[in-house]
C-alpha cells in the first residue's frame, strides 16, 4: 500500500518548517487547519473571496445582525476582525489584519483605524501581541507604523517591492515586512515577454527571490530586528529558494503542494556556508528622509508600478466587499 506523500514525515512542508516560520496566506480559515501554520495573514482580496463562499455566509450574517446600526466602514471592520478571531482559534501565533487601503496616504487616519481594529480584538479578549496591523509600505504607511510601534501596536508592512521600502521600514523599527515575491517576478516576466526563460530566470535567479535575499542580507548586516516574511508566491520553487527567511506566508494551494512533495529543502538564507556579501553595494546603509525615499522609490519602475497597482486593487476589492455587505 502506497502512503500518500502528504502523510510522509519528511515532506517538503515539514522540512521547510525546520528553517522558517510558516504562515497561512488566506481568509479561508477552514482550509488552513491541515497545514498547522504558526501565523496567518489576510488582505481585502482574501477576505472578499472568503466572504463570498457559502460556508462563511453564517459568519457574515451573524456580524451584520450583531451590528444593525453600523455604517458600512464599521461593518467592514467587524467582518475583518470576525475572520481574524476565527483564524486565531486555529493558529497559535498572530493574525495580520489590513487597514483600508484607501488610507494609504493618510498618516493620522491610518493610525486611528489601526487603533480601532486593535481595540475590536481587545474587546473580544485578544492580546494585542497576537495582532499585526497590515499597512501599505508607502511613506505615509511607514510613518504611521513608526508611531504605532512606539505605542506597542505591531505592524506588518505590505505591498513591499524594494530595498528602499524595506530600509525605511527598518529605520521605523516596524515589527515585520512582507516583500511580494511573486508580483516582482510577474513584472519582470511581463517585461521580458518571450525572452523569459524559467531555466535562466527561475530558481535562485528568480527576480522576486533575489529581491528578498537582498533585503535579508541588508537587514542581517545592519542588525535590523524587523522580521522578513516573504509573500505572494507563484510556485513552490520560489518558496524553497527562500528557506531560512524569518517567515514565509503561503497560500493553501501551495501549502498543499509542499505537503504532497518530498523535494529536499535546505537552508538557503542565513546558512553558515553562505556568508553575507559585505562588499555588496546593497550593504550601504540607506539614508532616507521623505524626499530621498520618494526619489529612490520613483527610480524603481517595478516597485513604483506594483505598489500603485496593489493599492488600487485592494481599494477595488474593499469596495466590492462593501457592496456585498450592503445587500
Q: Which residues are known catalytic residues?
A: 134
Q: Where are the beta strands (DSSP E) in the chain?
A: 21-25, 39-41, 95-98, 131-136, 155-160, 176-179, 227-230, 247-250
The C-alpha cell at 31 is: 482550509
Q: With CA atoms as reference, report the closest residue to 175 among 113, 240, 246, 123.
A: 246
What is the Cα–Cα distance from 14 to 33, expressed in whole angstroms?
Answer: 15
Question: Do the Cβ atoms of 322 and 76 come closer than 8 Å?
Answer: yes
What is the Cα–Cα distance from 141 to 158, expressed in whole angstroms?
Answer: 9
Q: With CA atoms as reference, report the closest residue to 22 among 91, 80, 84, 82.
A: 91
The C-alpha cell at 314 is: 485592494
What is the Cα–Cα distance from 13 to 236, expressed in whole angstroms?
Answer: 10
Strand partners, 39: 23
Question: Do the Cβ atoms of 10 and 262 come closer than 8 Å?
Answer: yes
Whole-angstrom CA distances from 198 to 207, 253, 255, 290 are: 11, 21, 22, 38
What is the Cα–Cα distance from 24 to 36, expressed in whole angstroms?
Answer: 9
Q: What count of other Cβ atoms lies within 10 Å of the Cβ of residue 75?
A: 19
Output the CA torsion sign for 170, 254, 19, 32: positive
Q: With CA atoms as reference, report the closest residue to 314 among 164, 119, 97.
A: 97
Question: Do the Cβ atoms of 179 and 212 come closer than 8 Å?
Answer: yes
Amino acid at each position: 500500500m502506497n502512503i500518500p506523500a502528504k502523510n510522509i514525515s519528511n515532506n517538503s512542508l515539514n522540512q521547510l518548517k525546520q528553517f522558517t516560520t510558516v504562515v497561512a496566506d488566506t481568509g479561508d480559515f477552514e482550509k488552513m487547519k491541515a497545514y498547522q501554520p504558526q501565523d496567518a495573514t489576510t488582505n481585502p482580496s482574501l477576505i472578499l473571496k472568503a466572504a463570498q463562499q457559502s460556508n462563511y455566509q453564517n459568519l457574515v450574517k451573524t456580524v451584520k445582525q450583531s451590528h444593525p446600526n453600523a455604517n458600512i466602514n464599521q461593518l467592514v471592520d467587524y467582518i475583518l476582525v470576525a475572520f481574524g478571531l476565527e483564524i486565531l482559534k486555529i493558529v497559535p501565533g498572530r493574525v495580520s489584519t489590513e487597514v483600508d487601503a484607501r488610507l494609504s496616504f493618510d498618516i493620522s487616519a491610518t493610525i486611528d483605524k489601526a487603533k480601532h481594529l486593535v481595540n475590536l480584538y481587545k474587546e473580544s479578549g485578544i492580546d494585542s501581541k497576537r495582532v499585526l496591523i497590515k499597512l501599505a509600505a508607502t511613506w505615509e504607511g511607514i510613518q504611521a507604523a513608526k508611531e504605532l510601534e512606539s505605542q506597542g501596536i505591531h505592524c506588518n508592512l505590505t505591498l513591499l517591492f524594494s530595498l528602499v521600502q524595506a530600509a525605511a521600514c527598518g529605520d521605523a523599527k516596524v515589527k515585520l515586512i512582507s516583500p511580494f515575491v511573486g508580483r516582482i517576478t510577474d513584472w519582470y516576466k511581463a517585461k521580458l515577454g518571450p525572452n523569459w526563460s524559467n531555466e535562466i530566470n527561475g530558481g535562485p535567479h528568480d527576480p522576486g527571490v533575489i529581491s528578498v535575499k537582498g533585503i535579508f542580507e541588508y537587514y542581517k548586516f545592519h542588525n535590523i530586528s524587523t522580521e522578513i516574511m516573504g509573500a505572494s508566491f507563484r510556485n513552490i520553487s520560489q518558496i524553497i529558494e527562500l528557506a531560512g527567511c524569518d517567515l514565509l506566508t503561503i497560500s493553501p494551494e501551495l501549502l498543499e503542494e509542499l505537503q504532497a512533495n518530498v523535494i529536499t529543502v535546505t537552508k538557503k538564507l542565513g546558512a553558515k556556508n553562505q556568508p553575507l556579501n559585505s562588499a555588496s553595494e546593497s550593504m550601504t546603509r540607506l539614508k532616507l528622509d521623505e524626499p530621498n525615499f520618494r526619489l529612490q522609490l520613483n527610480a524603481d519602475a517595478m516597485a513604483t508600478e506594483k505598489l500603485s497597482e496593489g493599492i488600487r486593487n485592494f481599494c477595488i476589492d474593499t469596495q466590492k466587499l462593501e457592496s456585498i455587505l450592503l445587500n
